[in-house]
Amino acid sequence: MLSEENIRSKMKTARCGSNVVYLYETGSTNDYAKSIAHEAQDGTLVVADCQVSGKGRLGRNWNSPHGVGIFMSLILKDGLKADKAPMITIVAAMAVMKALDRQCDNSTDVSIKWPNDIVINGKKVCGILTEMKTVGDSSQYVVVGIGINVNNESFADDISRVATSMYIEEGKRFDRSDIVCDVMEEFEKYYGMFLENENLSSIKEEYNSRLVNMNNEVEIIRQDGNYRAQSLGMDEDGGLIVRRQDGSLETVVSGEVSVRGVYGYV
Ligand code: BTN
C-alpha cells in the first residue's frame, strides 16, 4: 500500500521529496503540483495512487490505474533559465534508471530511449513529462512528472506492444514507496551535478552508456517529414547527435522531433 507515512519514513533526501503531498486519487499530479506550486516549498513531491486523467507527452493519455503504478510530480523553484528546463527531464530519466537498477535483478537491462523513456527489454516502463511556468526568460517553477509502471499485470492491447511493467519483466511485486524514495535520492544526486554547470556535461557519459539505440539506425520523426539517421548519443545540452545518410552530423532537439527504432519502438 502506497501511503504518505510510508513515503515520509523512507525518504532520505534533504531537498527533493522533503515535503510530500499524497493523494489517493487526482486528475493529474502535474496539474495538482502546478496548482500549488506558487505557495509550495521547493522540493515538494506530489504522489498519487491513481490519476483519472494522467497526461503523457504530445497530448497523449497516461494509463494510471489504482494500486499498481507510481504517479508523482516534483516541484522545483530554482529560477533556472527556461531554456535549461528540458535538461531536467534528462536528469529525471537518469534518476529513474538508477533507481530501477537498484530494484531490479542484476541481469535486467534497464536502459534509456532518448530523451527520457526508461525501457526494459525493449518496452517502456516509465515516462516523464516536465512542465514549467516562466516569468520573462526564467522559470518560476518547474514540475517534473514521473510515471512508472510498477506492479501492472497487463496492458490494454493498443499499448501492450510498447509498454511493460517491472512486475511483468521481473516476475515479482515491488514496494512502490521504496522506488519513490530511491528515485528522489538519485534525482537529488544527479540534479546537483547538473546545477554545477547548468548542463549535462557530468552526466552525459553515463547516460550515453545506457542509451538503448546508441549507434543504431533510427527514424527521426519531424513535422516536415521523417528521415533515417545513425544515433551517436546525447550532447551536453540534451540534444541527440545523429549522422544523416549523406554523412552530415546534426543535433536534434527534443520537443521538435521524436525518435523511434527502424523496426519498432526502440
Ligand atoms: C510520456 O508520455 O512518456 C510522459 C508520461 C508522464 C506521466 C506522468 S505520471 C505523473 C505525472 N502526471 C501526469 O499527468 N503525467 C506525469
Kindly list the structural domains of the chain, giving each domain's residue range(s) and its CATH number in brackets, ordered by start.
4-208 (3.30.930.10), 213-261 (2.30.30.100)
pLDDT score of 258: 83
Contacts 24+ apart (CB under 8 A), 164-171: 164/120, 164/121, 164/123, 164/124, 164/125, 165/68, 165/69, 165/125, 166/100, 166/103, 166/104, 166/120, 166/125, 167/68, 169/104, 169/108, 169/120, 169/121, 169/123, 169/125, 170/104, 170/105, 170/108
Whether ligand 1 lies within 6 angstroms of the CB of 33 is answered as no
Compute the C-alpha angle 238/239/240, nearest 5°.
Answer: 120
pLDDT score of 56: 95
Mutate to test the pocket of ligand 1, among 2, 23, 25, 30 (most ligand atoms within 8 A of CB): 30
Whether ligand 1 lies within 6 angstroms of the CB of 73 is answered as yes
pLDDT score of 131: 96
Residue 212 CB partners (closer than 8 Å, separation 6+): 111, 112, 113, 119, 122, 266
pLDDT score of 84: 94
Mutate to test the pocket of ligand 1, among 22, 61, 63, 71 (most ligand atoms within 8 A of CB): 71
pLDDT score of 58: 83
Amino acid, res. 139: S
Regions of the chain with pLDDT less than 70: none
Residue 264 backbone zone (phi > 0: left; psi -120 to 50: alpha; other: beta): left
pLDDT score of 254: 83
Whether ligand 1 lies within 6 angstroms of the CB of 60 is answered as yes
pLDDT score of 188: 98
pLDDT score of 162: 95
Q: How far apart are CA 220 and CA 12, in angstroms?
A: 40
Whether ligand 1 lies within 6 angstroms of the CB of 128 is answered as yes
Smallest CA separation from ligand 1 atom 7, residue: 147
Q: Do the Cβ atoms of 16 and 188 come closer than 8 Å? A: yes
pLDDT score of 138: 94
